[in-house]
Amino acid sequence: MPNDATVEKFKTSLRGELIQPTDERYDEARKVWNGMFDRRPALIARCAGTADVVSAVNFSRDNRLLVAVRGGGHSFPGHSVCDGGLVIDLSPMKGIRVDLAARTARAQPGVKWIEFDHETQAFGLATTGGTASDTGIAGLSLGGGLGWLSSKHGLTIDNLISADVVLADGRFVTASATENQDLFWGLRGGSGNFGVVTSFEYQLHGVGPTILGGMMAYPLGRTKEVLRFYREFTKAAPDELTIYAAFVNPPGGETVAALFCCYCGPLNKGEEVISPLRSFGRPIEDRLGPMPYVSQQCIFDEGFPAGSYYYTKAGSLPDLTDEAIEVFAEYAATKPSPLSGVLVQTVCGAASRVAPDATAFPHRRFPYAPVIVSQWLGAADSEKNIAWARDFWKALQSFAGGAYVNDLSDIDGERMRVAYGANYERLAALKKKYDPDNFFRLNPNIKPTA
């Protein structure tokens, strides 16, 4: 740790607060969404703006401090907090500006999707964002960004127009299709490896404000039938329709097999599009209908509260074969915790028509992106709940061909090669150019080795 005078000098360089372990707000400030991580940073710099970020990067580099970067704090592996070291906490940076004429929005990295959607939906606009409203735009955007608008408008990164970045050497640059193009390529799927993004500029689209959304739930005994239907239905779906299959427990209830939908086209056409779903078997719950887009964006909020313990496994499947469906049926029925869930997300439509090397996100040809989310309430139950997710994944692994970097709890070197796929070497070369000392390493890490 640097001496007191050096820390004091850093503190006075900030417009935001510098929180230390003796501070009353310390315990609250070091908390992240995943309750598994109870880490104690030496310092937390709550940045008020880009100048604070530059100052924090320079201070930690000059004093050889480990750095964690925090946007929305939802990293499954708890990357946004560290033991010792400095947390560059961007959560106070909440600015959002919508440009109605250009149909774009600029947002700072402390913004969460609920805040972003609130500002853009006021004008009937949106971009692809996460399906839990409390997640940060920053981490989600940098990993790829799957959401209810993916099939129609692509991943979040496909809607990123530019980003302002503070690099490891403290330089401030803009990356876009015309400036620092190599960095712009890497930011779109390469996670937080290349610097701290202080502003995101997104393309917006006319969405809602009312869409056709919600879910249908079926008894768990019908899992195989539901997944087979889901497979065929997703293949035939128009771009306006994004569908996820899930195994979740309604509050206090038994596990159900559910199909969650969002149709973002004209409502009268939507009913026709989802009619096969209406006529497929009898659901135990039908909650499909017109609803505000912002409500659809909160649809998973209740199921994933902050503070629980979480462990995930995830992958990308080229198809939902009958053999893979057998695995889902077996493990969905043996969850040790009713809080755990499985979500089969999709990379279809517009998201799938982007070339795998056009951005750093390589899994464009894998329509199914399942994430197994183990959730429980305390350390005593960790072993069995982690084991369930691991065994589930092991059984599914032979059907998978990749992994979405934002959905992984385990981020060892081998897994990173799978997650970045054929883009890994190009990313490693970029890492060497922009962060040769691996200063930004608490992330799904790319080694600067190329």
Ligand X SMILES: Cc1cc2nc3c(=O)[nH]c(=O)nc-3n(C[C@H](O)[C@H](O)[C@H](O)COP(=O)(O)OP(=O)(O)OC[C@H]3O[C@@H](n4cnc5c(N)ncnc54)[C@H](O)[C@@H]3O)c2cc1C
Interacting span for ligand X (CB under 6 A) from 58-66, 74-82, 118-126, 390-398: 74-82
Angle of the 424-434 helix axis to the 413-420 helix axis, nearest 10: 110
* Site pattern 368..407 for ligand X (x: CB under 6 A): --------------------------------------xx
150 binds ligand X (CB under 6 A): no
262 binds ligand X (CB under 6 A): no
Q: Which of 41, 139, 283, 370 binds ligand X (CB under 6 A)?
A: 139
C-alpha distances in Å from residue 170, one per residue of 7, 150, 317: 18, 34, 40
Give whichever of 101 and 251 is closer to ligand X, judged by the CB atom: 251
Least Cα distance to 237 among 275, 200, 205 occurs for 275
Q: Which of 79, 188, 231, 363 binds ligand X (CB under 6 A)?
A: 79
33 binds ligand X (CB under 6 A): yes
Please name the amino acid found at residue 352.
S
Q: Which of 304, 376, 392, 420 binds ligand X (CB under 6 A)?
A: 304
Give whichever of 116 and 229 is closer to ligand X, judged by the CB atom: 116
Output the smallest distance, CB 122 to ligand X, in A: 22
Q: Which of 16, 41, 136, 186 binds ligand X (CB under 6 A)?
A: 136
Calpha distance 429→447 (Å, rounded): 9
Calpha distance 302→356 (Å, rounded): 34
> 130: which residues sit within 8 A by CB, 6+ positions away?
113, 140, 145, 146, 147, 156
- DSSP codes of every residue in 324-392: HHHHHHHHHTT-SSTT-EEEEEE--GGGGGS-TTTSS---TT--EEEEEEEEESSGGGHHHHHHHHHHH
| Residue 251 burial class via C-beta count within 10 angstroms: exposed 0-12, middle 13-18, buried 19 and up | exposed
Interacting span for ligand X (CB under 6 A) from 138-146, 167-175, 226-234, 317-325: 138-146
Calpha distance 152→209 (Å, rounded): 16
130 binds ligand X (CB under 6 A): yes
* Site pattern 101..120 for ligand X (x: CB under 6 A): --------x-----------
Give whichever of 112 and 222 is closer to ligand X, judged by the CB atom: 112
In this structure, what DSSP letter does residue 255 have? Answer: -
Q: Computed over its alpha carbons, how large is the radius of gyration of the chain?
A: 21
143 binds ligand X (CB under 6 A): yes
* Site pattern 330..349 for ligand X (x: CB under 6 A): --------------------
- Are 108 and 94 spatial neighbours (Cβ–Cβ below 8 Å)? yes
230 binds ligand X (CB under 6 A): no
Judged by CB under 6 A, the number of residues near ligand X is 36
Interacting span for ligand X (CB under 6 A) from 145-153, 328-336, 348-356, 408-416: 145-153
Residues 54-73 that bind ligand X (CB under 6 A): 69-73
Give whichever of 17 and 134 is closer to ligand X, judged by the CB atom: 134
- Residue 390 structure tokens: 């691991």
C-alpha distances in Å from residue 100, one per residue of 231, 264, 366: 38, 20, 34
Q: Which of 192, 362, 402, 448 binds ligand X (CB under 6 A)?
A: 192
Residue pointed to by tokens 């998201």: 351
**Interface residue list for ligand X (CB under 6 A):** 33, 69-76, 79-80, 90, 109, 130-132, 135-136, 138-140, 142-147, 191-192, 196-197, 304, 406-407, 442-443
